[in-house]
């Protein structure tokens, strides 16, 4: 499914003007707030659902070659995180929904976790 | 210049996860028997037992006033302060951000005893010290620095509550003054992989039980065992240095 369609379905707010990767196909996702865990297990090309708003989230997602970060439950990263994400080409989205709710909807849309 | 063995991360019974046996006189006694010249009291998000432990120690050994602060990312940072007053002032800022305990809290998380120099219980801390503060890691480091302290990334080689476990990679601009590793006995080289961060390396026990005190230690080359000399050693200045960690 295209990330732009996912954003519409889940009513996500894009936090990175010019970097929404709307046309990118996304088939996988991961949910974790421990960035060491994301580094080890985040699927390439996938989306990360998290409440972790530290700047390192961008570096870790770039390293794991993931496409976008969905900040759950109203968490908002500060300006430095947004700027870094734009610079690195990572799309950031925000949602008022909980991580549980977001992941449930992503799964219903056909996204899956990394192979085990 | 002399070598002073130091264990700069020890909890008292004020930390909910520490054993009730961790009273000021018992900690001092264990530290002296372990051959330590310097220890630091670092309770979770609190510093209410630091002055009592300093009084219990008298001239037997140096007790630095510290605190282990939990950031919003649930990263633990050890702050080591010039004195108990500075540690308590920093702890007041931290405690003000934490929720109040309720009746069930101590059953689930453990008691938070305030004690005097004789080890007698004088009260209980009413804030949830096991909780995370709302402060981002950079704000925690800034808070410690504002109170004249040094900020140490706690137990970076542990799988939980460490800067590595929570943030994946070491944030170079976090403002830390040192890195602490918990190296189990017989594996003194556990810190080798962290030497590339360009920060002094401390080995500390993170003791929650008396038997752990001094099991992991750092040797400091100092003129005398004081906070000021310790800061010089972290900077490698005036011949002072972290001799072995």
pLDDT tens track for B7-44: 999 999 999 999 999 999 999 999 999 999 999 999 99
Is A58's pLDDT higher than 90? yes
Identify whether the C-beta of residue A90 lies closer than 8 Å to the C-beta of residue A5.
no
Interface list for chain B against chain A, based on CB atoms closer than 8 Å: 73, 136-137, 164-169, 171
Q: Do A60 and B137 touch (CB under 8 A)?
A: no
Closest residue in chain B to residue A59, using alpha carbons only: B169
Share of chain B above pLDDT 90, in %: 85
Find where tokens 């794991």 sit: A64
* Mutate which: B70, B168, B171, B176, vs A, most A CBs within 10 A: B168
| Side-by-side strand order, sheet with B76-81 | B201-203, B178-181, B150-153, B76-81, B62-70, B38-44, B2-10, B218-222, B241-244
pLDDT recorded at residue B184: 64
Is residue A116 in a domain? no
Q: What is the mean pLDDT of chain A?
A: 97
Structure tokens, B186: 């017989």
CATH classification at residue A104: 3.40.1390.20
CB atoms within 10 A of CB B236: 12
Whole-model pTM?
A: 0.90
CB atoms within 10 A of CB B94: 23
> How is domain B2-244 classified at the CATH fold level?
TIM Barrel (3.20.20)
How is chain B split into domains, by residue range? Answer: 2-244
Q: Taking residues B95-111, what's their average pLDDT?
A: 91
Is residue A71 in a domain? yes
Is residue A16 in a domain? yes
Reported as a single tens digit per residue, the pLDDT across B231-244 is 999 999 999 999 87
**Residue B114 burial class via C-beta count within 10 angstroms: exposed 0-12, middle 13-18, buried 19 and up:** middle
Q: How far is B160 from chain A (nearest CA, A)?
A: 9
Identify whether the C-beta of residue B203 lies closer than 8 Å to the C-beta of residue B216.
yes
Structure tokens, B208: 């929650």
Task: Enter the ipTM.
Answer: 0.80
pLDDT recorded at residue B186: 57
Reported as a single tens digit per residue, the pLDDT across B208-236 is 999 999 999 999 999 999 999 999 999 99
Q: Do B168 and A60 touch (CB under 8 A)?
A: yes
For A98, the domain range is 3-108
Q: Do B165 and A36 touch (CB under 8 A)?
A: yes
Q: How far is A57 from chain B (nearest CA, A)?
A: 7
The pLDDT confidence band at residue B111, using thresholds 50, 70 and 90, is very high
Is A7's pLDDT higher than 60? yes
Count up the domains in chain A and report the number.
Answer: 1
Host H or E run for residue B27: helix B24-33
Is B190's pLDDT higher than 80? no
């Amino acid at each position: 499914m295209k990330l732009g369609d996912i954003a519409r379905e889940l009513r996500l707010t894009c936090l990175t003007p010019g970097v929404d990767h709307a046309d990118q196909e996304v088939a996988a996702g991961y949910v974790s707030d421990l960035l060491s865990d994301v580094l080890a297990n985040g699927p390439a090309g996938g989306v990360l659902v998290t409440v972790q708003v530290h700047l390192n989230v961008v570096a870790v997602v770039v390293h794991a070659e993931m496409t976008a970060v969905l900040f759950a439950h109203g968490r908002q990263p500060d300006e430095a995180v947004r700027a870094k994400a734009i610079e690195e080409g990572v799309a950031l989205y925000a949602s008022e929904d909980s991580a549980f709710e977001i992941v449930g909807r992503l799964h219903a849309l056909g996204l899956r976790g990394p192979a085990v | 210049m002399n070598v002073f063995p130091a264990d700069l991360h020890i909890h008292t019974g004020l930390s909910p996860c520490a054993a009730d046996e961790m009273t000021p006189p018992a900690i001092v006694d264990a530290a002296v028997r372990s051959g330590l010249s310097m220890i630091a009291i670092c309770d979770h998000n609190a510093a209410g037992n630091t002055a009592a432990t300093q009084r219990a120690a008298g001239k037997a050994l140096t007790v630095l006033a510290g605190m282990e602060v939990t950031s919003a990312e649930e990263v633990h940072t050890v702050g080591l302060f010039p004195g108990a007053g500075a540690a308590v002032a920093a702890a007041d800022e931290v405690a003000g951000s934490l929720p109040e305990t309720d009746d069930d809290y101590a059953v689930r998380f453990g008691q938070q005893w305030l004690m005097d120099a004789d080890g007698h219980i004088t009260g209980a801390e009413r804030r949830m010290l096991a909780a995370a503060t709302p402060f981002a890691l950079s704000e925690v480091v800034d808070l410690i620095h504002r109170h004249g302290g040094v900020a140490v990334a706690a137990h970076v080689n542990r799988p939980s509550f460490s800067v590595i476990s929570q943030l994946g990679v070491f944030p170079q601009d976090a403002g830390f003054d040192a890195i602490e590793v918990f190296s189990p006995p017989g594996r003194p080289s556990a810190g080798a992989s962290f030497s590339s961060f360009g920060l002094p390396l401390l080995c500390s026990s993170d003791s929650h039980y008396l038997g752990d005190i001094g099991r992991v230690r750092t040797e400091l080359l100092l003129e005398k065992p004081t906070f000021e000399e310790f800061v010089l050693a972290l900077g490698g200045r005036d011949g002072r240095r972290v001799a072995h960690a």
